[in-house]
Amino acid sequence: MKKRTLIAVLLGATCTGAGPSDSGGNELAPNWIAEPVGSEQRLSLVEELRIGRAMGGPEAELLYVVRDLDIGPGGEIYVLDINEVKVFSPAGEFLRSWGQRGEGPGDFDGTLGLAVARDTVAVTDGERVQFFDLGGRLLSSVWTGGRAAGYLASKAHSTDLGWVVEVRRRVVQLEPGPAPPTPPAEIRYLDPGTGALGEPVASYLEQPDVLQLASGQPFSRAFNRIIGHAVDRQGDVYLPRGLDYELSVYGADGGLSRIVRMEVEPVPVTDAMLEEVRRDLIALCQRNDFRRRRCERVRYVDEILPEVLAHAHPRVPVVGHILVAPDGHLLVSRRDLRELSASDEPRPFDLLSPEGRFLGRIEIPVNLRPIIVRGEYIFGSWTDEFGVSYVVKHRVDGLPDV
């Protein structure tokens, strides 16, 4: 029997009533697709722009580690490259850059996120968020939640209601022993003038499936959930629940405004799937000397791997990462067997309309990391076989008329 995927958008915090039913009395979503996805629902990526140079090229155009990127008001591409912001024209020509490693105003010492508003660029930098004009002039540098608050800022988002940041409390381990629990991530509004934080709009554990051995050594179960968030231009926060493609959407006041649900008929995890995971994780341990030594030090194959498999989630897929465009288009990754694979097999992502309608499935190469979605375009970082990073822009080909 073919698997069926039901895609629905439920408005409000509770169900608004029964939908249309088939002859068997089963509730149907507004639209559904059959699994496996047919050729008419498969989308492809067409590369339209690549930014970066191989080693030996112009220094200004060389990218080391792309932390984040965003699009400016004129279509300029702002790239956070370790401790430097680099700006390129819509055609990929280098325009300017600023930043250096340091702890002073305008310096960077632990960047993670970048966001661009109409006339301002925000960069998250450890416990600080720094704001610049579009040319790179420092406007303000604030401590997230205040200097003594101990909040680390990662992602930043520009919305119509103000700046939104993802923060978590800094954890300091003073005594030897098992690492303390990772604090939850919190999504809050931030005052760019003072660094004051609003009340949490949403909070979540990024890796809720981390368990511990009797020795205190942490490990993640096979097919573990990795939870992330997304924020649209209106300030709505999208948070996956980790299973069944269910995304909760919260308003700026923290209230649940709607649920985007893709009800997927689960696929049971079989012994054959677990055996494939076991082989792939052993292969990862043997990939290079660094990994081999690390696996031997923690006795990964003998002690940790059996627990990883024994505590595997009983079914797949689960929601992985999500991206949301300013207009509400959603790109949702399917965290299944291929997500754990050591192979170079592409990963499947599903594209949804702002209304929650399934538009198609995209196979994204394993060395391409999607970062932002803008209409029919996906921007991300791509790493070649030599470890050189690039920024790439792809057009999604095959989209249905909507």
Tokens of 261: 């649900």
Output the pLDDT for position 34.
Answer: 55
Strands 128-133 and 138-143 come out as: antiparallel
Write down the residue that tokens 């149907």 correspond to: 28
Asked whether residue 77 carries a pLDDT value surpassing 70, the answer given is yes
- Confidence bin at 176 (pLDDT 50/70/90): low
- Confidence bin at 278 (pLDDT 50/70/90): very high
Work out the angle at residue 184's Cα, subtended by the Cα atoms of residues 193 and 167, and round it to the nearest 5 degrees: 15
Distance separating alpha carbons of residues 111 and 86, to the nearest angstrom: 13
Work out the angle at residue 60's Cα, subtended by the Cα atoms of residues 58 and 62, and round it to the nearest 5 degrees: 70
Asked whether residue 20 carries a pLDDT value surpassing 60, the answer given is no
- Confidence bin at 67 (pLDDT 50/70/90): very high
In this prediction, residues 280-286 reach a mean pLDDT of: 89
Distance separating alpha carbons of residues 149 and 238, to the nearest angstrom: 26
The mean pLDDT of the chain is: 83
Query: 241: number of CA atoms within 13 Å, CB side?
Result: 13
Asked whether residue 128 carries a pLDDT value surpassing 90, the answer given is yes
State the amino acid at position 245 in one-letter form: Y
- Confidence bin at 268 (pLDDT 50/70/90): confident
Instruction: Quote the percentage of the chain above a pLDDT of 70.
Output: 81
Output helix, strand, coil percentages for the chain, rounded to the nearest 5.
Answer: 10, 45, 45
Q: Specify the range with the lowest mean pLDDT, choosing from 149-158, 178-187, 256-265, 275-284.
A: 256-265
Domains and CATH numbers, the chain: 1-13+28-51+239-402 (no CATH), 66-200 (2.120.10.30)
pLDDT one-digit tens code per residue, 183-233: 899 999 999 999 999 999 999 988 888 888 888 788 888 887 778 899 999
Output the pLDDT for position 4.
Answer: 30
The answer to whether residues 321 and 334 touch, using CB atoms and an 8 Å cutoff, is no
State the amino acid at position 356 in one-letter form: G
Q: Which residue has the higher pLDDT, 386 or 174?
A: 386
Contacting residues for 17 by C-beta, under 8 A, at least 6 apart:
none
Beta-strand ranges (E) seen in 12-148 are 31-35, 42-51, 66-71, 77-81, 84-88, 94-98, 111-116, 120-125, 128-133, 138-143
Name, of 175-179, 223-227, 275-279, the range with top average pLDDT.
275-279
Q: Specify the range with the lowest mean pLDDT, choosing from 123-127, 157-161, 297-301, 316-320.
A: 316-320
Asked whether residue 51 carries a pLDDT value surpassing 60, the answer given is yes
Asked whether residue 29 carries a pLDDT value surpassing 60, the answer given is no
Bond into 73 cis (ω within 30)? no
- Confidence bin at 246 (pLDDT 50/70/90): confident
How many other C-beta atoms are found inside a 10 Å radius of the C-beta of residue 55?
8
Output the pLDDT for position 223.
Answer: 80
Work out the angle at residue 15's Cα, subtended by the Cα atoms of residues 9 and 19, and round it to the nearest 5 degrees: 70
Beta-strand ranges (E) seen in 135-269 are 138-143, 151-159, 162-169, 185-190, 202-204, 210-212, 218-220, 230-231, 237-240, 246-250, 256-264, 267-268
Asked whether residue 250 carries a pLDDT value surpassing 80, the answer given is yes
Nearest to 51 by CA among 73, 23, 78: 78
Strands 256-264 and 246-250 come out as: antiparallel
Output the pLDDT for position 302.
Answer: 94
Distance separating alpha carbons of residues 275 and 13, to the nearest angstrom: 41
Strands 358-364 and 42-51 come out as: parallel
Name, of 56-70, 87-101, 178-192, 305-319, the range with top average pLDDT.
87-101
Own/partner contacts of 204-212, CB < 8 Å, gap of 24 or more, are 204/229, 204/239, 206/182, 207/182, 208/242, 209/313, 210/182, 211/307, 211/311, 212/178
What letters, b where the CB count within 10 A reaches 16 and e where it falls short, cover 205-216?
A: bbeebeeeeeee
Output the pLDDT for position 371.
Answer: 96
Q: Specify the range with the lowest mean pLDDT, choosing from 1-10, 48-57, 268-277.
A: 1-10
Name, of 39-48, 143-152, 155-164, 357-366, the range with top average pLDDT.
155-164
Radius of gyration for the alpha carbons in the chain, expressed in angstroms and rounded: 22
Output the pLDDT for position 170.
Answer: 84
Q: Specify the range with the lowest mean pLDDT, choosing from 56-60, 241-245, 373-377.
A: 241-245
